[in-house]
Amino acid sequence: MIEVGEDGRTWLLSGPTSGYALRLTDRDELLHLHWGPRITLADAEALAAQPLPAERSFESRLDGHEEYPVEGGRRFVRPALSVRGAGVRGSEWRFAEAATEREELRLHFTDAVHRLSITLVYRTRGDVIERFAVLRHDGPADAPALELLRADSATWTLPARDQWRLSQLHGRWAAESRLVRADLTYGEQVIGSRRGHTGHQHLPWVALDAEGATEEHGEVYGCALAWSGSWRICVGRLPDGTVQITGGQGHDDSGQELLAPGAQVVTPVFAGLWSDGGFGGASRAWHAYQRAHVIPDAAEPRPVLYNSWEATRFDISEEQQRTLAGKAAALGVELFVVDDGWFGRRVSDRAGLGDWTPAPDRFPGGLKPLADEVHALGMRFGIWVEPEMVNPDSDLYRAHPDWVQHQPGRERTEFRNQLVLNLAREDVREHLWEQLDALLSSAPIDYVKWDFNRCFSDAGWPGEPYPQRIWNAHVHALYGLLDRLRAAHPAVAFESCSGGGGRVDLGILSRTDQVWTSDNTDPLDRLAVQHGFGQLHPARVMAAWVTDSPNTQLNGRVSTLRFRFVSALAGVLGIGGDLTRWSAEELAEAADWVTLYKEIRPVVQLGDLHRLRPPSEPLSAIQYVHGDETVVLAWLRAQSYGEEPPRLRLKGLDPTAAYVCQDTGKTHRGAVLLHHGLRTGLRGDLDAAVFRFRRV
C-alpha cells in the first residue's frame, strides 16, 4: 500500500509488517525518512518536519539522508549516479512529477543541463521493496551521447544505531555461499564481481542488524541485487554512524554505458527487506517473496533428477546413458539429464563448445532416440549446454574467430580452454537463438542445464567506441535468450549453473527454475553451503545431488547413503552417482529415500524454513513447516564422549496442538516439541535422520 501526504511530497509505503517513507523538500531534495516497522502517515509527516542537521563547513547536511545521492553539489557520500555530458559532470535535478499505483511509486526528475530524465521506482512486494532507476536521454537527436559512469539501482539508508553488524555470503568455486557475520566499522566495505557473472565469491546480498539479532528475534535489514553480471554493493558507515547501502550493475568502470539521445537504461532491481523476526524471519520473508514474485511457476514442486556428470565425466555414449536411465527410473527418478559431452567433438574440455549438434559417434541418431527411451521409462529428458562459450577447437570458432570477446593484438586468455562469445553482438545472439531453438525442436527436451564455466577477462569488442556496452549487454542478451526460449518452448525448464553456484541471483532466478548450488557434492560440506544459500534463496531452487562415496569429486570423504540423502533432501533432490556401481542394497535403499522425498517434497520445497542449529555445531538441523505438516532434517557430524546430542527444539508449531510422528506413529505435544525438544537418537560420526510430523 502507498499513501501520499497532503502536499503530495511525502510518501509512505507499507508492507504487512514494515514501513518505508520518503519526502521531497521544497528544494527538490529527496530525503529518506524511515525504513523499519509500520508507521502511520502522521508519523512520516512528523519525521518530515524534523530539520536536517545544520550545515557546517566540512559536513554536508544531505549526506546520509538522501534516497539517491547523485554526484555533484554538497555531497561527499558515494554517488549512486554519476553522469558526464559534453564538458559537464554530475547531476542537478528538478522534480517533475510523481505517479502512484497500488503497489508502485514512480518519481520523475530532470537534469536540464544533461537533458537527462531520472525516474526512481519503488514497488512493494510484501515486506520486500523493489527499487530501480530509469535514465533517459531526452535531448535532441543530434545531441552528444551522455556517459553513464555509474548508475546504481538504489541507495538504502538505515536508521542511526550505535553499532551495526554485517552478514554476507562469501565463497569460491566448490565452497559457495558461506555465511560470515562481523561488526561494521567506519568507511566503506565493497563486495561484488568483476567477472562478468554473479561470481562464486559473493552472493549479491547483505544483511545488517544493530542490536544483536538472533535466528528468531531482532531487526534485520537485507538487500539483494537482481543482476547476473558484474556488480557492486557498497556498505558505507558514515562519520555520524549512519549506514547506507548502494548497489547496482557493474564494478569499477565495467558498468559504464553511452546513452544516446532517445535511449534509456533501466537498472536491475535492488530489493530491500526489513524484518523483525531475526535472521530466520528475514530468510522466510525472502523465500516467500521469491516464490510469489521472482521464480517462475514456484508453486509447482521440482522433480527428482538424475545427472551422470560425476559418474561418467566426458566418457559418455548413448548405450551407457540408456543403462543409467534404466537404473535411475527404477529408483523413482523423474528427470534424466545428459550433462556435458553429447555434442560436437566434445570428448574433453579441450574441444566442441559452440557446436550444439549431437556427436555422431556417440549419438548416431541424434538425441531423440535417447529422449524417447527416457520418456518411455516415465521420466522427463534434459541436456546440458554452455551457449555463451566457445572452444578455439570448434567449428564455430574456426568460422567466426571475431565473435569472441578480445582485445586487438593481445592474447586471448583461456580458462578451461574456452573463450567467451561476445553476446553484445547481434549476429552472435541471433546465431545462439537459432542453434538453441533448433536443438529444443530436434528432440523432446524438457530441461536445459545452462552452464557458464569461466569469467570474463578480455572483455573487448574491437572497433567499438568506449565505453563498450559489452558487460551489461551480455547479461541483457542472456536474459533475452532465456526469455525468448521460454516463450517458444514453454514446457522446457531451465537450470542456472556456473561451475556450480557462480550465477545465483534474483535476476537469473526470475527466468530459471532452479540453480546448481555447488559442484561440491560432499554431503557435509554441503550443509554449510546450503546454510548460507538458504539465508536468501528458498529450497525450491536449491539443487542437491547424492553422489558416490568416497566423494570422487573433491575430498574423498566417506559417508553413508543415509547421510548423503538426508543432506540432499534439504533441497531439490537429485542423484549424481555412478548407479552401475551401486549394490542391489544401495539401490533399494536409494529407492526408499526417493519415495520418502516425494512425500516430504511439498513441505521442503514450498514450506517455511526454520534453522534449528547451524552446521558449525556438531549437531545441526533444519525444519520445514507447510500447513499441518513439518519435516525435521538432522545431521550429527561427530559425537563426543558418548554424550547424547542435544535435543532439537522445534519451531513454527502450535503449542496447543498435538503432532503425530509419521514414522513411529507416536503422538507429541506441540508445547513439548517447542520447549523441551525432540530426541534425535543420532550416534557416532556422520549420522543423520528425518522426522515427519503431522498436526492431529
Contacts to ligand GLA by CB under 6 A = 309, 339-340, 384, 451, 453, 497, 499-500, 516, 519
Helix 561-568 vs helix 523-536: angle between axes, to the nearest 10 degrees? 10
Partners of 33 in the β-ladder: none
DSSP state of 145: P
| Secondary structure, 3-state, 84-104 | ECCCCECCCCEEEEEEEECCE
Among 451, 525, 608, 687, the active-site one is 451
Preceding peptide of 467 cis, ω within 30°: yes
* Closest CA relative to residue 310, chosen from 521, 52, 72: 521
With cell 552478514, the residue in question is: 167
Q: For the chain, what's the residue count?
A: 696
Q: Is 127 a catalytic residue?
A: no
How far CA 613 is from CA of 223, 279, 527, 621, in Å, comes to: 24, 13, 11, 5
Tell me how far apart the terminal alpha carbons of the chain are, to the nearest angstrom.
Answer: 37
DSSP state of 17: S
Q: Is 111 a catalytic residue?
A: no
Minimum CB–partner distance for residue 340 and ligand GLA (Å): 4
3-state secondary structure at position 533: helix
CA dist., res. 69 & res. 246, Å (int): 10
CA dist., res. 518 & res. 200, Å (int): 9
Residue whose Cβ sits closest to ligand GLA = 340
CA dist., res. 164 & res. 212, Å (int): 9
Residue among 90 and 303 whose Cβ is closer to ligand GLA: 303
DSSP state of 200: S
Minimum CB–partner distance for residue 593 and ligand GLA (Å): 21
Minimum CB–partner distance for residue 330 and ligand GLA (Å): 23
Residue among 178 and 293 whose Cβ is closer to ligand GLA: 178
Cell numbers placing 336: 534424466
- Sequence-separated (6 or more) residues with CB below 8 Å from residue 461: 405, 422, 424, 425, 468, 469, 470
Cell numbers placing 16: 504487512
The answer to whether the beta carbons of residues 362 and 342 sit under 8 Å apart is: yes
Residue among 497 and 539 whose Cβ is closer to ligand GLA: 497
Element housing 673 (H / E): helix 670-675
Ramachandran assignment for 532, one of left (phi > 0), alpha (psi -120 to 50 degrees), beta (any other): alpha
Partners of 56 in the β-ladder: 59
Minimum CB–partner distance for residue 497 and ligand GLA (Å): 5
3-state secondary structure at position 496: strand
Q: CB 329: neighbour CB atoms within 10 A?
A: 18
Among 393, 519, 522, 525, the active-site one is 519
DSSP state of 553: T
CA dist., res. 105 & res. 13, Å (int): 9
How many Å separate Cα 1 from the centre of its chain?
27
What type of residue is 690?
A: V
With cell 498435538, the residue in question is: 658
Minimum CB–partner distance for residue 314 and ligand GLA (Å): 8
CA dist., res. 404 & res. 470, Å (int): 11
CA dist., res. 252 & res. 138, Å (int): 27
Residue among 63 and 340 whose Cβ is closer to ligand GLA: 340
CA dist., res. 652 & res. 552, Å (int): 38
Partners of 631 in the β-ladder: 624, 692
The answer to whether the beta carbons of residues 465 and 429 sit under 8 Å apart is: no
Minimum CB–partner distance for residue 654 and ligand GLA (Å): 41
Q: Please say whether the dihedral angle defined by the alpha carbons of residues 149, 154, 159 and 161, taken in this order, is positive or negative.
A: negative
What type of residue is 253?
A: D
Point out the residues that are catalytic. 451, 519
